[in-house]
């Protein structure tokens, strides 16, 4: 098996030429597969250093890309770490790319929502390979560099083709579209809903989406002086005339403070404090690989929706869609929150439960406030815990039950593990993965 001389890694060489380069053949040879696999330990140790250098060099040379990438995730290091992890996974599975199918699908959906273009892959590849050369130095021999260039373009071509399919499915909607904030509704102490209506004059219905999917929104950040995109789950059923997103404000951020320009909560605070009814934002076509397809799903299978905090947004879209279709399948809507003032859509959920005997709503409050009544304001105290739920709540006796989970990463991990421990097969558990990836 081919190996890389790691002894030379600590002697970086001058940056490689930034002339775009694409190998004539983007099919890896067996020897190149061996080379890529031999770099797995190197990526484990130096991957984040490589990707940090890559992003720094690329954005310095191409500042226009700052309107594409999430600068908050750049500043915190989450984005370089996510890309380093993706490179590691790619190298480790280079001879079994089928294992990366779900990750590639997620990345392509995110890329499509940001309107990534094929030529941008050339820019990324150029600067990524240059960063490898800078950090790895003489360890990145010509053979290793050629193998990685081939591997990069092999993956890039897969993504470009998949994204072309997604753009084609979007039909006439070819890029960012202006939408007006028609209504702005406070749902809780932290969450505000934005009802977005298109500014086009075609009078055509808005494209439907699969409940659970998201849109990207681009808006100007005053202290940056340019736009930034963010992805928000659609929080209502499709209606043909508007899209609704429900945005959680991250506390402690002043959108007019220059020091907060790359804070992780900057866009949520711009939306809450700067954008008002009548303002225009740019919106993408809906995308996302987390969804419930009400038309193709088993009509009798129970659905259990488990969320924490703002994770309820995409699950509310699923629930509202099922109710609109007058589904009589058993549905459990289970939500956890720190305290009642932070729970969005509480009255809506309770009204739906009263009107639909097939729907059961179960609420968890981590902390209780004076005067709260069990059975009205909450059902269980503490964090959302599967042990406190009955078999009827979770419909564990039905092998067709489908589970949809959204919330903080630790919450989703705990719920997924807990469901598997009580016998739920992994293919029946669906989770929305938020956070940085290689395209956001």
User: Which residues participate in catalysis according to the annotation?
Assistant: 121, 163
Nearest CA to 426 out of 438, 418, 434 is that of 418
- Contact present, 321 and 211 (Cβ < 8 Å): yes
Residues in the chain: 440
Structure tokens at 122: 């050339």
What phi and psi, each to the nearest 5 degrees, are found at residue 336? -115, 145
Residue recorded with tokens 């605070």: 269
Closest CA to 227 of 71, 112, 440, 80: 71
Supply the Cα-derived Rg of the chain in whole angstroms. 23
Closest CA to 348 of 179, 191, 181: 191
């Amino acid at each position: 098996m081919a190996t890389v001389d790691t002894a030379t890694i600590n002697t970086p060489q001058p940056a490689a030429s930034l002339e775009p380069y694409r190998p004539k053949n983007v099919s890896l040879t067996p020897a190149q597969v061996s080379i890529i696999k031999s770099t797995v330990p190197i990526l484990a140790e130096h991957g984040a250093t490589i990707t940090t250098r890559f992003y720094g060099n690329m954005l310095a040379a191409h500042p226009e890309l700052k309107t594409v990438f999430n600068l908050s995730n750049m500043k915190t290091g989450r984005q370089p770490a996510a890309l380093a992890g993706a490179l590691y996974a790619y190298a480790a599975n280079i001879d079994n790319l089928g294992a990366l199918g779900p990750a590639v699908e997620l990345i392509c959906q995110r890329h499509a929502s940001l309107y990534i273009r094929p030529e941008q892959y050339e820019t990324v590849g150029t600067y990524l390979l240059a960063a490898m050369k800078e950090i790895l130095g003489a360890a990145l021999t010509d053979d290793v560099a050629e193998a990685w260039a081939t591997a990069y373009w092999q993956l890039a071509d897969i993504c470009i083709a998949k994204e072309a399919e997604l753009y084609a499915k979007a039909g006439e909607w070819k890029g960012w579209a202006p939408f007006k904030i028609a209504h702005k509704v406070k749902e809780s102490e932290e969450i505000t809903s934005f009802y977005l209506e298109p500014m086009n004059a075609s009078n055509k219905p808005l494209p439907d989406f699969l409940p659970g999917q998201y849109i990207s929104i681009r808006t100007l950040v005053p202290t940056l002086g340019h736009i930034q995109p963010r992805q928000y789950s659609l929080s209502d059923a499709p209606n043909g005339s508007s899209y609704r997103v429900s945005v959680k404000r991250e506390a402690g951020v002043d959108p007019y403070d220059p020091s907060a320009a790359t804070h992780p909560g900057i866009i949520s605070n711009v939306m809450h404090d700067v954008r008002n009814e009548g303002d225009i934002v740019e919106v993408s076509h809906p995308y996302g690989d987390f969804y419930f397809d009400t038309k193709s799903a088993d009509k009798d299978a129970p659905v259990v929706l488990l969320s924490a905090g703002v994770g309820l947004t995409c699950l509310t879209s699923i629930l509202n869609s099922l109710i609109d279709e007058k589904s009589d399948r058993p549905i459990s809507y289970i939500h956890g929150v720190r305290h009642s003032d932070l729970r969005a859509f509480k009255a809506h959920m309770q009204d739906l439960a009263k009107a639909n005997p097939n729907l059961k709503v179960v609420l968890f409050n981590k902390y209780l406030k004076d005067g709260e009544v069990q059975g009205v304001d909450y059902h269980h105290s503490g964090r959302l815990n599967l042990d406190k739920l009955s078999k009827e709540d979770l419909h564990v006796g039905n092998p067709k039950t489908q589970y949809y989970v959204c919330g903080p990463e630790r919450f989703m991990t705990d719920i997924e593990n807990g469901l598997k421990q009580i016998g739920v097969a992994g293919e029946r558990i669906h989770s929305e993965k938020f956070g940085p990836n290689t395209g956001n």
